[in-house]
């Protein structure tokens, strides 16, 4: 069988030159510290009404610390010590293109409508969401289905979901000592009420088998507590390692400590609500971008985790929704669009896609690009009406095609090293190629 010919568009000057669009230069590698778009976006001359922001979160239990005040759309802070040898792919977003200003105005206009046109919102957002006036947070909530298109329902929906999350925290994050205290107050130990209230402890004669710290019963709250301790310790370790180069997540500041506690609580709640999956290392990396964007509404950061949780379930690895099946789909996609490259990687040099694509897919590319670029990629992932997975596979395929010349010239060792340490990339260029793959497939 004759080898499938490389499409003509792959041989165009696109692969040897950088597009001249001003939008693309903002994501070119630069030694300067990354700043978010909002710090640089100037207000358009004529601006539609700013959408009414969601109401402030309802009051939380007194035991929960008040979040430190901060500008969530501040630049992505990097440690000063890393600036001299910063090898990541930070883009300089200080220069704002007219396209960004125009897109911001379009998004504001769409968000100002009584009922949001989701098809139009997805179309605009797929090109990237300028992070000004709280746009990214509101758009992501709509794209994830956290907010309904009808703005009149936002207040009630937010109140309902925040109340649900507070309930989860109270039920799932409470330690057994506090549970026994509450049982005492509810009248479980009426016969020894006065003594219990004065000492704060349950009388030995009234502690049931399930409430005893040494109980091994399946329904024992203490037994469950000790079983959860190991996974909670793992979550704590991973959260402390989340983006150590960003002051938002790391360090000794009050802001960083509060954010770490919030991340930890979210992951613990998710693990307990999903006992078949619980917590898998890497979930913290997926949560980080969501938490960063939704910092003012940190009650429901688990939407995307839920959508991709099958990739974290070992029992589903070999099923049609598991990670191995997804990697196989990526292999087929590459073969469809560039059979020469596919054959060189998987047949000639025997670079199994699992060696590199496992991390790309399970962590949604958060480890392959810097934080600001990851947010840009996620704008596109969340905007696709087909769902984020289809777009993610096209982006992964485009990543391979963008470095095809280096891959075709490499052997197993060189190619594996290159794919496990993906080089600096122009994100807008990458997303353009991924979209081109969609049109080529449909054509």
Task: Sort residue 119 into left (φ over 0), alpha (ψ -120 to 50) or beta.
Answer: alpha
Measured distance CA(25)–CA(13) in Å, rounded: 17
* Region of residue 330 (left: phi > 0; alpha: psi -120 to 50; beta: else): alpha
pLDDT of 132 reads 63
Nearest alpha-carbon partner for 124 in 364, 442, 375, 379: 379
Q: Which of 292, 68, 389 is nearest to 397 (CA)?
A: 389
Residue with tokens 């054959």: 343
pLDDT by 10s per residue, the chain, length 443: 455 555 554 544 444 334 434 433 333 333 333 333 333 333 333 334 444 444 443 333 334 455 565 444 433 443 333 333 333 333 344 456 788 888 889 999 999 999 999 999 999 999 899 876 678 888 999 999 989 999 999 999 988 988 998 898 888 887 655 555 655 565 554 555 445 444 455 444 444 544 555 555 555 666 666 677 889 999 999 999 999 999 999 998 999 999 999 999 999 999 988 888 889 999 999 999 999 998 754 334 435 455 555 555 554 545 555 788 999 999 999 999 999 999 999 999 999 999 999 999 999 999 999 999 999 999 999 998 888 899 999 999 999 999 999 999 999 999 999 999 999 999 999 999 999 998 776 65
Task: Confirm if 400 and 433 have CB atoms less than 8 A apart.
Answer: no
CATH for the 102-152 domain, from 3.40.50, 1.10.10, 3.90.105, 3.30.70: 1.10.10
What is the Cα–Cα distance from 268 to 236, expressed in whole angstroms? 10
Q: Please state, in angstroms and rounded to a whole number, the distance separating the CA atoms of residues 382 and 128.
A: 11
Q: How far apart are CA 432 and CA 62, in angstroms?
A: 49
The architecture (CATH level 2) of 318-437 comes to Orthogonal Bundle (1.10)
Q: Are 138 and 51 in contact (CB under 8 A)?
A: yes
Residue 91 β-bridge partners: 29
Give the C-alpha separation, 380 to 373, whole Å: 11
Distance CA 430, CA 401 (A): 9
Closest CA to 93 of 132, 40, 129, 137: 40
| 124 in Cβ contact with 107 (< 8 Å) | yes
Q: How confident is the model at residue 240, as a pLDDT?
A: 94
pLDDT at res. 5: 52
Contact between residue 7 and residue 434 where contact means Cβ atoms under 8 Å apart: no
List the domain boundaries for the chain: 102-152, 318-437
- CA dihedral sign, ordered 382, 384, 390, 391: negative
Domain 102-152 and domain 318-437, same fold? Reply is no
**Can you give the three-state secondary structure of the chain, one letter per residue?**
CCCCCCCHHHHCHHHCCCCCCHHHHCCCECCCCCCCHHHCCCCCCCCCCCCCCCCCCCCCCCCCCCCCCCCCCCCCCECHHHCCCCCCCCECCCCCCHHHHHHHHHHHHHHCCCECCHHHHHHHHCCCCCCCCCHHHHHHHHHCCCCCCEHHHHHHHHHHHHHHHHHHHHHHCCCHHHHHHHHHHCCCCHHHHHHHHHHCCCCHHHCCHHHCCCCCCCCCHHHHHHHHHHHHHHHHHHHHCCCCCECCCCCCCHHHHHHHHHHHHHHHHHHHHCCCCCCCCCHHHHHHHHHHHCCCCCCCCCHHHHHCHHHHCHHHCCCCCCHHHHHHHHHHHHHHHCHHHHHHHHHHCCCCCHHHHHHHHHCCCCCCCCHHHHHHHHHHHHHCCCCHHHHHHHHHHHHHHHCHHHHHCCCHHHHHHHHHCCCCCCHHHHHHHHHHHHHHHHC
> Looking at the chain, how many residues does it have?
443
pLDDT at residue 238, as a whole number = 95
């Amino acid at each position: 069988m004759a080898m499938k010919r490389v499409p003509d568009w792959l041989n165009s000057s696109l692969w040897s030159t950088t597009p001249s669009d001003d939008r693309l230069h903002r994501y070119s590698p630069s030694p300067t510290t990354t700043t978010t778009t909002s710090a640089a976006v100037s207000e358009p001359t004529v601006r539609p009404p700013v959408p009414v922001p969601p109401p402030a979160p309802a009051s939380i239990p007194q035991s929960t610390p008040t979040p430190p005040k901060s500008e969530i759309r501040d630049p992505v802070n990097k440690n000063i010590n890393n600036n001299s040898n910063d090898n990541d792919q930070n883009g300089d977003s200080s220069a704002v293109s007219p396209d960004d200003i125009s897109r911001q105005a379009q998004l504001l206009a769409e968000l100002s409508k009584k009922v949001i046109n989701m098809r139009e919102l997805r179309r605009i957002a797929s090109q990237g969401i300028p992070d000004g006036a709280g746009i990214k947070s509101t758009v992501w909530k709509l794209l994830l289905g956290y907010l309904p298109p009808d703005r009149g329902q936002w207040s009630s929906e937010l109140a309902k979901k925040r109340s649900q999350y507070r309930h989860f925290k109270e039920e799932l994050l409470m330690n057994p000592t506090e549970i026994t205290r509450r049982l005492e107050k509810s009248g479980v130990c009426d016969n020894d009420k006065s003594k219990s209230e004065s000492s704060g402890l349950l009388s030995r004669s009234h502690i049931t088998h399930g409430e005893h710290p040494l109980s091994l019963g399946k329904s024992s709250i203490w037994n469950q507590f000790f079983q959860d301790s190991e996974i909670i310790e793992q979550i704590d370790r991973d959260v402390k390692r989340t983006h150590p180069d960003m002051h938002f997540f790391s360090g000794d500041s009050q802001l960083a400590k509060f954010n770490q506690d919030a991340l930890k609580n979210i992951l613990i709640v998710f693990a307990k609500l999903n006992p078949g999956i619980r917590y898998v290392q890497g979930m913290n990396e997926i949560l980080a971008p969501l938490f960063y964007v939704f910092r003012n509404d940190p009650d429901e950061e688990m939407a995307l985790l839920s959508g991709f949780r099958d990739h974290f379930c070992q029992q589903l690895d070999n099923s049609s929704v598991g990670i191995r099946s997804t990697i196989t789909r990526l292999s087929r996609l590459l073969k469809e669009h560039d059979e020469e490259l596919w054959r060189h990687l998987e047949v000639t040099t025997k670079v199994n896609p699992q060696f590199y694509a496992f991390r790309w897919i399970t962590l949604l590319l958060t480890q392959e690009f810097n934080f600001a670029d990851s947010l840009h990629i996620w704008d596109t992932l969340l905007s696709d009406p087909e769902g984020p997975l289809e777009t993610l596979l096209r982006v992964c395929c485009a990543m391979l095609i963008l470095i095809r010349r280096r891959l075709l010239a490499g052997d197993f060792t060189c190619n594996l090293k290159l794919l496990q340490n993906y080089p600096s990339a122009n994100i807008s260029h990458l997303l353009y190629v991924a979209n081109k793959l969609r049109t080529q497939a449909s054509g």
